[in-house]
Copies of this chain bind each other. A is one copy, B any other.
Amino acid sequence: MTADVFGALASPVRREITSLLLDGPRPVNDLAAHFAMSRPSVSEHLRVLREAGLVSERRHGRQRVYRLEPAPLRELSEWLLPYERFWREKLSNLRELLDEEDL
């Protein structure tokens, strides 16, 4: 299914890119300006994000504008659901314990 969202988000650089794209689509140079690394390296990170479906590319003149694609993040959110149930249970167990203490 999800080509590898977790792998794509494992890099701090790529998480920073997705964060930048929250404010709207941006061309590569614009993104690369935020990093200390070379522009081709940023291009490679963009490829990883693209293969995971996290960004899409549109050509506009000679620039390629990247935009954030939310679908894989929604899958991540769904992946988290059982774990959310898990920590809610833990919380309610804790609450019961505290209630007993109060008696």
Majority secondary structure, A binding face: helix
Q: Tell me if A35 is interfacial: C-beta within 8 Å of chain B.
A: no
Given A6-B10, A6-B15, also A73-B82 (CB < 8 A): no
* B-side contacts of A76, CB under 8 Å: 80
* B-side contacts of A10, CB under 8 Å: 6-7, 9-10
Q: Is A90 a contact partner of B77 (Cβ separation < 8 A)? A: no
Q: Tell me if A62 is interfacial: C-beta within 8 Å of chain B.
A: no
Q: Tell me if A84 is interfacial: C-beta within 8 Å of chain B.
A: yes
* B-side contacts of A83, CB under 8 Å: 18, 22, 68, 70, 73
Q: Is B77 a contact partner of A84 (Cβ separation < 8 A)? A: yes
Q: Hey, what's the 0/1 contact readout for A7-20 against B, CB within 8 Å counting as 1? A: 10110000100110
Query: In the complex, given contacts A10-B10, A22-B82, A73-B80, what are 12 additional A-B residue pairs having Cβ atoms less than 8 angstroms apart?
Result: A6-B6, A6-B9, A6-B10, A9-B10, A68-B86, A70-B83, A70-B86, A73-B83, A73-B84, A73-B87, A76-B80, A77-B84
